[in-house]
Structure 1
């Protein structure tokens, strides 16, 4: 995103910062590359450091309802102390890893409704932290995740929305303080057994835990049930429609 932002710590006439992503799309476990462009203002400035992080919009439950907040994660310091002379132009290149559990924001080049995630640039200048805007980042599925999503579509489940929920999925290897739910309306052949299915991925370098939560309210054996299945990354080389169909039929008692 090309957007020059005035560093507010020094006010009018101070330096500006512009973060440019050369990899606007990435997969979980990949790396984001880019540069931070600094332009000196009317006077010299002491910059103590520059930190990048990922920032996402997360739903949080409170006693009186739900609300949205921004959660930052995976911070990386990309620059130590430097002196930026008046009018000086300087670029700081960077590459930082994206956690394996980073939620998906795009599938097949299409943005997932309900998702907001990007790269935030924070500049420590004159002893004050200048909190930057967030440059949108597209996070696309790994091959094995893509195969699971394709299977859901092939089985007739209709994507409804996606969001991030604060909290943990019990019994998984989750490390982030939130998780993604990709919500589907039930496929016709399962409509008498559940209303919706919420899909979550908990991913690490070796495997993917696929968590399926079935909303059975008002149907056979009403309530919610949760099942967790495990795939290795090599499963991304195969059609998983039959596998996912078996998971769902087993969970719903077919």
Structure 2
């Protein structure tokens, strides 16, 4: 890879940096490893700190409509405290653990349109510069994949995926945003539900599956949202009839207009709270990948290919930084 010059705070002729992530996709709660490769500039410098930011393009709703911004959802110092000589090369290996709520960016190799990145920041003599940005690919955990596979087998179609700024009431959500996977109903539910939004909130011990249904109105009633929360274990990913399980969730959600109870499957429980703030939105930039059937994610339509999402990440983040509209989140 070509080393990327730091021409901002560190000045022309300063050191350059290239962060290389190890191959393959990461998973929520799993390790992310790689190397930060430095090359000295026109003079010796003291590298005070090397920091990696996990960043995401997140949607927010306000009075003026929807907007998008960059959110830092984790920040880890991976090195520093050494001298980098003129024109010298230095490599700093790293390994960190992704937050359990890290969004999923792909399913069965198909990009979902969610944009995550790893941004490298160098601190030299008190000056900081964001010198490198790399795309972060995240595959689902086994239990997440099992749930989505069941939805696909039951005839639910994938509509879009996006990241929403805010929190879901009644949950132990840790990140300042959550992922919504929007699915369209099969024929048996199409008369009562226009779409559902599925959110995974994983922890080391298991995962909450939050399902919100946009229910159609009847002759004497308006449409409304219904929300349930179900808790599953990571250990049950391969030993559960997920088609039956997921179908039971959906029957509860549509059969009970209050949608405020569950029957205890896998220790399932529910949230009496709706999403805090603004909880529904349309797909954001690059966030529509239309497909259907087995495993939810199958084909891509309209000529959109995964490479377009890959090419978009740099432009999306850089444009946000130029506007100075970055939002910080997560642990510092």
Residues 166, 68 of structure 1: alpha-carbon distance in 2 compared, 3 angstrom cutoff: same
Question: Which stretches of structure 1, 4 residues or more, deviate above 4 A after TM superposition?
Answer: none
Calculate the aligned-residue CA RMSD, in Å: 1.4
The residue number in structure 1 matching 2:47 is 47
In 2 relative to 1, CA 199–177 (structure 1 residues): closer, same or farther, beyond 3 Å? same
Residues 10 and 127 in structure 2, CA contact (< 8 A), matched pair in contact too: no
Give CA-to-partner distance per residue, 1:78-128, whole Å, 9 cap, x none: 012221110111000000000111010011111103x10011111112311
CA–CA separation in structure 1 for the residues paired with 2:182 and 2:243:
18
Taking structure 2 as the reference length, the TM-score comes to 0.73
Partner of 1:103: 103
Aligned 1:219-230 pairs, distance under 5 A: 222-230=223-231
User: 3-state DSSP class of the match of 2:86?
Assistant: coil
Could you tell me how far 1:24 is from its partner in structure 2?
4.1
Rounded to whole Å, the distance in 1 between the matches of 2:15 and 2:192 is 60
Aligned to 2:253: 251
Conserved? CA contact 2:29–2:204, under 8 Å: yes
Q: Which moved more, 1:140-149 or 1:10-19?
A: 10-19
Query: Match of 2:34?
Result: 34
Q: Distance in 2 between matches of 1:85 and 1:94?
A: 21
Corresponding residue of 1:201: 200
Task: State the alpha-carbon separation in 2 of the partners of residues 168 and 110 from structure 1.
Answer: 27
| TM-score, normalised with respect to structure 1 | 0.95
Q: Which residues in structure 2 correspond to 1:109-128 (within 5 Å)?
A: 109-113=109-113, 115-128=114-127
- Unaligned 5+ segments in structure 1 are none
2:106 matches 1:85: no
- Report the structure, 1 or 2, having the larger strand content: 1
The higher relative CO (CA closer than 8 Å, separation ≥ 6) is in: 2
SS of alignment partner, residue 43 of structure 1: coil
